[in-house]
């Protein structure tokens, strides 16, 4: 199945008022691909992944998901698909955030079944059975009745991953999933993400964990100042960068 285009982004722009954050980003992600986005703080990585699932609405450009146009030019004007279509697409590409973004007033189990029941219309008993299995997979079977503030950061992030998996998504978007974690908890989350990649899950991962990106990536995209400056396999990006901007970024993080 690997090789089919799942997501195609062309000349994507996003502004906040007068601030142009994405300045024409083009990017394709194939089914089964593990794509990393790296780059300096403020370069637009979060904005890009938030635009991909329409947590932010792009200002211009094309996003196609499984061949369906979510935004793009139509009859000479910028078109954004109706909310119903966006919601359906979004349910196929859930996001895991740096700050977990769990529902504080819901238990672990309730956090995981919310999407399947509310968005996919799953039957409650089926959603619970699936959630119990997924929470078992991430080592949280004993915590299903806990509330988020009773969990460690690493446990919260595993709930967030189980919540994403409960949607049986086509791709999972990760925005710096380990940046808010104590150092000793980072490895566990990276191992969980590696497990998803090894099962063939399509992943788009924003991270500063360069060793992790180097080992796991099919492709790495380097972003700076609202552009993708260079894309390539990890050995190119980390060992033989072609652009001066990427070379100096790699030198700065190795220092
Ligand atoms: N909702 C927003 N409103 C205004 N400016 C924003 C908003 N979100 C992001 N920005 C700005 O967009 C730029 C890129 O931010 P971001 O996408 O978060 O970068 P990165 O994730 O690469 O650090 C920053 O200058 C940031 O302040
Ligand atoms: Mg960010």
Q: What separation in Å is there between the alpha carbon of 220 and the centre of ligand 2?
A: 16
Residues enclosing ligand 1, CB less than 6 A?
16, 19, 21, 39, 41-47
* Residue spans per domain, the chain: 102-168
Q: What is the 3-state secondary structure (H, E, C) of the chain?
A: CCCCEEEEEEEEEEEECCEEEEEEEEEEEECCCEEEEECCCCCCHHHHHHHHCCCCCCCEEEEEECCEEEEEEECCEEEECCHHHHHHHHHCCCEECCCCCCCCCCCHHHHHHHHHHHCCCCCHHHHHHHHHHHHHHCCCHHHCCCCHHHCCHHHHHHHHHHHHHCCCCCEEEEECCCCCCCHHHHHHHHHHHHHHHHCCCEEEEECCCHHHHHHHCCEEEEEECCEEEEEECHHHHHHCCCCHHHHHHHHHHHC
Please list all protein residues whose beta carbon sits less than 5 angstroms from ligand 2, which is an ion.
Answer: 46
pTM of structure: 0.96
Show pLDDT as tens, one digit a residue, over the chain (255 residues): 456 789 999 999 999 999 999 999 999 999 999 999 999 999 999 999 999 999 999 999 999 999 999 999 999 999 999 999 999 999 999 999 999 999 999 999 999 999 999 999 999 999 999 999 999 999 999 999 999 999 999 999 999 999 999 999 999 999 999 999 999 999 999 999 999 999 999 999 999 999 999 999 999 999 999 999 999 999 999 999 999 999 999 999 887
Which residue's C-alpha comes closest to atom 12 of ligand 1? 21
Q: Which atom of ligand 1 is nearest to the CA of 47?
A: 17
């Amino acid at each position: 199945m690997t090789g089919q285009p799942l997501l195609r982004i062309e000349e994507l722009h996003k502004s906040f008022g007068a601030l142009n954050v994405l300045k024409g980003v083009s990017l394709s992600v194939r089914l089964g691909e593990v794509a990393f986005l790296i780059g300096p703080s403020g370069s637009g990585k979060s904005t890009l992944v938030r635009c991909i699932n329409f947590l932010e609405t792009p200002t211009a450009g094309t996003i196609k998901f499984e061949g369906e146009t979510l935004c793009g030019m139509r009859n000479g004007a910028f078109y954004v698909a109706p909310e119903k279509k966006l919601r359906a697409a979004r349910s196929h590409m859930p996001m895991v955030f740096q700050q977990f973004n769990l529902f504080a007033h819901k238990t672990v189990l309730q956090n995981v079944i919310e999407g399947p029941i509310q968005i996919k219309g799953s039957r409650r008993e089926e959603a619970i059975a699936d959630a119990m299995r997924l929470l078992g997979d991430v080592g949280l079977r004993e915590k299903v009745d806990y509330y988020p503030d009773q969990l460690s950061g690493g446990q919260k992030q595993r709930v967030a991953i189980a919540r994403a998996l409960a949607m049986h998504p086509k791709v999972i978007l990760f925005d710096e999933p380990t940046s808010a974690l104590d150092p000793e908890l980072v490895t566990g989350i990276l191992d969980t993400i590696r497990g998803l990649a090894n099962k063939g899950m399509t992943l788009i991962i924003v991270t500063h964990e360069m060793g992790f990106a180097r080992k796991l990536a099919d492709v790495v995209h380097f972003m700076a100042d609202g552009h993708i400056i260079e894309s390539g396999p990890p050995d190119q990006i980390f060992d033989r960068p072609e652009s001066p901007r990427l070379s100096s970024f790699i030198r700065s993080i190795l220092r």
